Amino acid sequence: MLEAFARPPLSLRQLSADLGPAYLVNGLIGFIFAATGPVAVILSVGSRGGLSQAEIASWVFGAFFLNGLLTLLACWLYRMPLAFFWTIPGTVLVGPALTHLRFAEVVGAFVATGLLMILLGASGWVKRAMQAAPMPIVMAMVAGVFLRFGTDLIRSLHGDIRIAAPMILTFLALSAWAAAGRRLPPLIGALLVGVVAVAMSGRFDPGAVGATVFAQPVLQMPVWSWKAMIELVVPLAITVLVVQNGQGVAILKGAGHEAPVNAATLGCGIWSTITAFTGTVSTCLTGPTNAILCSSGERPRHYVAGLTVGVLALGFGLLSPLFTGAMLATPPAFIATLAGLAMLRVLQTAFTTAFSGPYSLGALVTFVVTVADIPMLNIGAAFWGLLAGFAVSRLLEWPRRTPG
């Protein structure tokens, strides 16, 4: 059921002929995007969840180094841009779970999610599984779990205006000035201005960086827990297969690439099972990064940008303790603002998809239940939100066959 590799196989001579500045720059920009706001989300969730700095660095190592290996392998075999990182909605889902589950139980759910995706990818059932979950209800759950990042952005502006305000103003200015925004992406501009604001405030804590520079992954042994399985496995699989992979496949198709859906799902499953042991959330085919990789140049050479991302991800992963410590040494408002700005467009897309089409009542129920964040039977609200929204839509909004 797996899609065939590119023929003829890629050779070093062909790669050398396809290299070009445009593809290397696109790969660099795609990597910088992944290494800024999305990393801030990991740091925010890990810190709130009580993880140690070493555990967070290990999470970042798996997210970049191990997923970088998959990116290199997939781009080489299929000769198209196939950048794999980690599910951001899944990362946010883990936050509430860490308040009442041990990290080892969460890791067990990561492994179980990987095994489920291996089954779906190897069997070819993944397309059917993706179609079974109504997108408005799924995106309403995403909107519910992401909403906190938007409110934290406002709280950061209120609580630490000297750090948050320059970052927000820079992001808005670069977003409004299209020509400048193409040269310096708004999120990267906000990051750079934030670094300057932190330096000028004198509140960077060098002592918090630590002496460790190179990665020392923390081996996490999974613990099997029914509470964790019920709460996390299905929502995590949905965020990977429907939200992230679905978006990635659509972006690649729009650029003229026929993404190998079954192979990508199988790869996500295998790598999710591996990265779980470093404490890393499930692997996915990323949407925004692949969009950057395909943004310019000749379609047959886009894979070069994907290989560039993979190589840079390896380096970032190897230095994960250094980067993690440097980010955690900044004021909390820096990470909260960067994460909030990174989530704005995603939150906008989630709301638009949830409430502009069919199943909007079920989506509303999902959103309300998720935002209420009241666990039942020690199972988090995101699961119950999906269940309640699906039930309401099934009862009141599902297409009905007319008699005769």
Residues 102-111: pLDDT tens digits?
A: 999 999 999 9
The contacts found for 388-393 with CB under 8 angstroms, 24 or more apart, are 389/137, 389/140, 389/141, 389/359, 389/362, 389/363, 389/364, 389/365, 390/134, 390/137, 390/362, 390/366, 391/362, 392/361, 392/362, 392/365, 393/134, 393/137, 393/359, 393/361, 393/362, 393/363
Q: Of the spans 122-131, 215-224, 245-254, which averages the highest pLDDT?
A: 215-224
pTM value is 0.78
Using CA atoms, how far residue 64 sits from 85, 136, 153, 283, 351, in Å, is: 7, 30, 26, 10, 29
pLDDT band at 326 (very low <50, low <70, confident <90, very high): confident
Q: What is the pLDDT of residue 307?
A: 97
Is residue 147 predicted with pLDDT exceeding 90?
Answer: no
Query: 335-371 pLDDT, tens per residue?
Result: 888 878 877 877 887 888 888 878 899 999 999 998 8
